[in-house]
Amino acid sequence: MDRSGIVVAGSDGPAAGAAWALKAAGARLVVLDTDIDRGHRLVLALNTGNGGIAVFLPGDPSSPADLAEAVAECRTCWGRCDLVVQAPAV
């Protein structure tokens, strides 16, 4: 998969599962979440052994400005933003 995108509220639960599935498919990711520690841990785990396919961006998934910043970050890092995954919080 030659895609890049954003996983919103992605540091745990269903969204983290989506991040792992997208990584397995070869996607490059921006993980947006309010939980900074958990977000950094997830991105570190996603990047282990592959040279870096994910970045963490702290932000509020309910904020239009933070979502716009995540899209801009994705475009800056990988030249485009093909997808956005928003899974429900549990």
The CATH number of the domain holding residue 37 is 3.40.50.720
Tell whether 87 is covered by a domain: no
- DSSP helix, strand, coil percent of the chain (3-state; round to 5): 45, 20, 35
Q: Does residue 36 sit within a domain?
A: yes
Query: What was the pLDDT predicted at 90?
Result: 55
Q: Give the Cα separation of 41 and 8 in Å (integer).
A: 16
Average pLDDT over residues 40-61: 91
The pLDDT score that the predictor gives to residue 2 is 86
- State the total domains in the chain: 1
Q: Can you tell me the distance from the alpha carbon of 50 to that of 24, in angstroms, rounded to the nearest whole number? A: 11
**89 lies in some domain:** no
Query: Is residue 56 domain-resident?
Result: yes
User: Does 88 map to a domain?
Assistant: no
Instruction: Give the range of the structural domain holding residue 24, as residue numbers without chain letter.
Output: 4-81
| Helix ranges, the chain (H) | 13-24, 36-47, 64-78
User: Taking the model in full, what pTM does it have?
Assistant: 0.90
Position 82 pLDDT exceeds 80: yes
Residue carrying the six token digits 């990711």? 29
CA 30 from centroid of its chain's CA atoms: 3
